Amino acid sequence: MTQDIVILAAGKGSRMKSAFSKVLHKVGGISMVRRVLTTAGTLADSKLHLVVGHQGEQVEANCQDFSANIVWQNDPQGTGDALRRVAPFLQDDGATLTLYGDVPLIRASTLEKMTALSNANTLVLLTISLDNPTGYGRIVRNEQDKVTAIVEQKDASESELAIKEVNTGILLAPNAHLQSWLAALTNNNAQGEYYLTDVIAMAARDGVEIVTVNPESEAEVAGVNDRVQLAALERELQSQQAISLMQNGATLFDPSRIDVRGELVTGNDVIIDVNCVFEGKVVLGTGVEVGPNCHLKNCTVGDNTIIKSNTLIEDSQIGESCDIGPFARLRPGTQLANKAKIGNFVETKKAIIGEGSKVNHLSYIGDTEMGANVNVGAGTITCNYDGVNKHKTQVADNVFIGSNSSLVAPVQVAEGATIAAGSTITKQVGEKQLAFARARQTNKDNWPRPTKK
C-alpha cells in the first residue's frame, strides 16, 4: 500500500532556550529531524512530506538530501492544522503516516508493524501504557475494548485521567477517509487548536476499524521539549549502540563511557577503552584496539591496528597492523600503509606514509608522500607552507631522516638517502646520498651568562 509520510517539524521549542529550531538539535551526532527522516525513508513505496515553520529555511537546508516535499506552517495551530496544510499533496489512495521531528528514536520495525496492518478501512494507532501518563492524551475504549476516541489531558474527565494507555501521536490513516476528517476538524477545545487526535472519534463514528500497535520501549516514542529530555535520549541511544557493538563482537571496557555520534562499524575482537568518541562513519577492522580518550572521525582502520590513548584521527585511512599514538593527531588526508607507526606528539596532514615507515615522536608531516621503511627522527618537520601556498615533500623508500631536521618543500629525497640530524634541507637529495646542512659551531670562552634583573 502506497504511503504518504508526514514529519511535523514546525515548532519553535521555546523550552530548549536556543537560537536554533528544536528539531535541529542532535542526538548521537545527528539532528533529530534527520533521524526521523532516515527511519521513514526505509519504508517502501513512501513519499515524504516535511512540515516546517520556525527557522524553516534552516530545517529545509539540513534535510535537503531527502527530497521531501516541504510544507510551511508559519502560524502553527496544532497537529491537525499541520496535516490540513499537507492535505492537498496527499495521494488519493494509500495511507498517511504521521511522525514527529522531535521523536528521534522511533524504530523502523515499529513502523513496519503499523504498515502491515494498514488498509483502506483501517486506522492504525501507536499507543503505550505508562505508569505516569500525565501530559498525554488518553486512549478511550468501549466495553468491547475498541478504541473510540483520544482525549487530551486538558480536556479529560477524572475517570479519563485515570487511564494508563496513552497516545504517542503516531498514527497511520487511510487517505480515502483522512481528507474528509481533516476538513471536519474544529478548534473547540481548551487549547484552541486543531487536534489530529480528533480523527479517531470520526473513524469510530464512520465504522473504520481502529487497531493499536505498541512500541518496543518507552524511549522509542519519547519526545524532546527541553535539554534535560534531550540528554536523556542521548544516553538511551548511546546505551542501545553500546549493546549492539558488544553483540557484534566488540569489547567495551565501560559501555557507559563511549559516544557514537554517527555510525561505528566493528569487526570481531575489537577492544575500545573508556571515553572514546566516534563521529561520522568509522570502520574498525578485526582485532583493532582503541585506547582511552581517543577521538575518531570519518576514518577506516585496518585489522590489528593499535591506537593508543589520547589520539585524534580525522578523515584518514589507516592500514593493517599500524601503531599510532599516544597523543597523536592524524588530520584529514592522512593515509597509513600496513605496519606504519605514528608515535607520541606527531601530527600528520595530507600525508601518505608507506609500509613499515616510522614517525616516532614530536614531528609534523604535512603534504607529504613517503615511501616504505622510512625512519623519521624526533623533531622533524616538513615545512609545507610558504605563507601563501602549500608545497609537497616527497620521500622515497628506505630513507633515514635524523632528528630535528627540517625539509623545506617543495623538495625530494631519493631512495636510500640519509639526512643528518639538525639539517635544514632545501634541495633535492639523491639516491644513497648523505645530506647535512648545519651552521658551523662556534665556542666562546668565558662567556658571561645573563643574570636575572
Residues with catalytic annotation? 361
Known binder of ligand: residue 107? no
- Could you tell me which of 242, 316, 322 has the C-alpha nearest to residue 290? 322
CA dihedral of 61, 65, 67, 69, whole degrees rounded to 10 = -20
CA dihedral of 4, 85, 127, 239, whole degrees rounded to 10 = 80
Known binder of ligand: residue 438? yes
Known binder of ligand: residue 378? yes
Known binder of ligand: residue 403? yes
Please tell me what DSSP assigns to residue 137: P
What's the rounded Cα separation, in Å, for the pair 366 and 272? 28
Known binder of ligand: residue 375? yes
Indicate the burial class of 337 (C-beta count within 10 angstroms; 0-12, 13-18, 19 or more). Answer: buried
Cell, residue 127: 499507543
On whether the CB atoms of residues 53 and 71 are closer than 8 A, the answer is no
**Radius of gyration in angstroms for the set of CA atoms belonging to the chain, rounded to a whole number:** 31
Known binder of ligand: residue 9? yes
Known binder of ligand: residue 56? no
Known binder of ligand: residue 304? no
What's the rounded Cα separation, in Å, for the pair 128 and 450? 79
Known binder of ligand: residue 421? yes
Known binder of ligand: residue 22? yes
Known binder of ligand: residue 155? no
Known binder of ligand: residue 183? no
Known binder of ligand: residue 443? no
Residue 39, amino acid? T
Strand partners, 314: 297
CA distances from 64 to 20, 34, 67, 231, 261 (A): 17, 10, 6, 26, 20
Nearest 5°: CA angle at 17, between 14 and 21? 65
Known binder of ligand: residue 245? no
Task: Catalogue the E-assigned strands of 118-225.
Answer: 122-129, 138-141, 147-151, 165-174, 209-213
Known binder of ligand: residue 225? yes
Known binder of ligand: residue 2? no
On whether the CB atoms of residues 140 and 147 are closer than 8 A, the answer is yes
On whether the CB atoms of residues 125 and 213 are closer than 8 A, the answer is yes
For the chain, give the longest Cα–Cα distance.
Answer: 108
Known binder of ligand: residue 102? yes
Cell, residue 112: 513496519
* Upper half-sphere CA count for residue 87 (Cβ side, 13 Å): 18
Known binder of ligand: residue 338? no
Known binder of ligand: residue 349? yes
> Angle at which helices 32-40 and 108-116 pack, to 10 degrees?
40
Annotated binding site for acetyl-CoA: 378, 384-385, 403, 421, 438
Annotated binding site: 8-11, 22, 73, 78-79, 100-102, 137, 152, 167, 225, 331, 349, 364, 375, 378, 384-385, 403, 421, 438
Annotated binding site for Mg(2+): 102, 225
Annotated binding site for UDP-N-acetyl-alpha-D-glucosamine: 8-11, 22, 73, 78-79, 100-102, 137, 152, 167, 225, 331, 349, 364, 375
